[in-house]
Amino acid sequence: MVTFSANAPRAEGVASTRQNLSAGHLLSLVIALALRDVSTRYKHSFLGLYWALINPLLTALVFAFVFGGILKIPLSDHVPYAVFLVVNLTFWSFFANSLTSATISVVSNAPLISKIYFPRLVLPTAAVAARLVDFAFSAAAAALFMLLFHVRIGWMLPAVLLPTLVLLLFSLGCGYIVAALHVLYRDTGQIVGVVIMLWMYLSPVMYAASALPRSVRLLVGLNPIAGVLEYAQSVVLMHAWPTSAWELGYSAMSSIVVLVIGVIIFQRAENVFGEIM
């Protein structure tokens, strides 16, 4: 079993290449790596970035047919189920894709790590940041879908930035944890895939939390993603502030805690990256 310690030595040659990087340099590095990730992902793709539009729409249509057409999942406020799904999947896909990309971010950049020193935390950060591009395209697709189904885009739409920020912080925290674990245990990638699938069904992505029994809803509310989705549903689909702000408040506090824990775990694990890779 691999263990890590705060006092473990860094990889040979790192100390000689270490530089004091300013916040501006680190931000530039994150942006450069994120753009490289986006370019690499879609470079040899026929449709390119349009897949960021197509994937959530196709997924929403399939789920709408199965859960809305066959299983008749109940919704309130007469929102078309397909629109409900597209909005939820826009946020959920960002989280799921961020977690997947962050998991392999360190291992896939092993050659870069061996050549030059830089804070390794930049790698999962850039992996998550790259998914913001997909999120922007998916959000545009969701807006078009709303217009197609004659769902009004209200003046409260800018308020969606708040749950987006909370989701970003949570994704970063989770991303740091799985990125570190994947270096230590290479089967983390398979485990993350299973966890993401189960997590989606435990989140109000395909169903409205308000339709659940109270006891089940309280249990689902412990999931930080739930508060993000419910807040987004309220401001985007119902054009109203949530009746209770505690769900998003809980999600925000959970995101900060997970972010801090993620940074600590990653920085402690970073000390043995050189030995393993």
Could you report the per-residue pLDDT of 198-245, keeping only the tens digit for each? 999 899 988 888 778 888 888 888 999 999 999 998 888 887 887 667
> How far is the C-alpha of 14 from the C-alpha of 218, rounded, in Å?
49
Task: For residue 220, count CB atoms less than 10 angstroms from its CB and return exposed for 0-12, middle for 13-18, buried for 19 or more.
Answer: middle
Is residue 21 one of the residues assigned to a domain?
yes
> How far is the C-alpha of 273 from the C-alpha of 242, rounded, in Å?
44
Is residue 8 one of the residues assigned to a domain?
no
Is residue 79 one of the residues assigned to a domain?
yes
Mean of the per-residue pLDDT values of the chain? 82
Is residue 7 one of the residues assigned to a domain?
no
Total number of domains in the chain: 1
Mean pLDDT of the region 65-87: 69
Is residue 3 one of the residues assigned to a domain?
no
* Per-residue pLDDT, 258: 97
3-state SS, 132-143, equals: HHHHHHHHHHHH
Q: Does residue 262 carry a pLDDT above 90?
A: yes
Could you report the per-residue pLDDT of 37-75, keeping only the tens digit for each? 888 877 766 666 666 667 767 776 776 666 655 555 555
pLDDT band at 101 (very low <50, low <70, confident <90, very high): very high
Is residue 162 one of the residues assigned to a domain?
yes
Tell me which residue range forms the domain holding 30.
Answer: 14-276
Is residue 5 one of the residues assigned to a domain?
no
Q: Does residue 82 carry a pLDDT above 90?
A: no
Are the beta carbons of 170 and 92 closer than 8 angstroms?
no
Is residue 97 one of the residues assigned to a domain?
yes
